[in-house]
């Protein structure tokens, strides 16, 4: 099985390694895997890369297809997504950003309900459920 998660989420060249189809499947798998965590759904933020809207829409479609809610936070820093995920009782947070990588890349970072990065075991479960 291919590993999608690296040291800080999923990253790749947009429309090559990281496609809308993959983001949709990741959204579905994350919702399925994390549903038992409870919470108010997913808080989703993004940076200003042009591909963020496509990836955010695909993630949202996958999550909502599994019956969970997504709250779009718009353009927001990653620490703010972590904070509101924790303070507002979310199932998890998602940040669409590739940080310091070139603009043709993007990434998907998951934040657990406690405001910290998902554990390796939860990332592995999301991958297994893809």
Is 99 assigned a catalytic role?
Answer: yes
The DSSP 8-state label assigned to residue 11 in this structure reads E
The DSSP 8-state label assigned to residue 18 in this structure reads B
Q: Strand 105-112 relative to strand 92-96: parallel, antiparallel, unpaired?
A: antiparallel
Q: Strand 5-6 relative to strand 9-13: parallel, antiparallel, unpaired?
A: antiparallel
Sheet of strand 9-13, all strands in order from the earlier edge strand to the far edge: 5-6, 9-13, 105-112, 92-96, 42-46, 70-75
Catalytic residue among 29, 51, 97, 99: 99
Catalytic residues: 99
């Amino acid at each position: 099985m291919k590993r999608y998660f690296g040291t800080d989420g999923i990253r790749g060249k947009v429309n090559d390694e990281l496609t809308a189809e993959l983001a949709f499947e990741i959204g579905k798998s994350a919702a399925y895997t994390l549903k038992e965590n409870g919470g108010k759904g997913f808080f989703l933020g993004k940076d200003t890369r042009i591909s963020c809207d496509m990836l955010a829409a695909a993630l949202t479609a996958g999550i909502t297809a599994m019956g969970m809610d997504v709250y779009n936070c718009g353009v927001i820093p990653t620490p703010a997504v972590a904070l509101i995920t924790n303070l507002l009782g979310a199932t998890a947070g998602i940040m669409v950003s590739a940080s310091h990588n070139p603009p043709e890349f993007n990434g998907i970072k998951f934040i657990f309900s406690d405001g910290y990065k998902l554990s390796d075991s939860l990332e592995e479960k999301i991958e297994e459920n893809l």
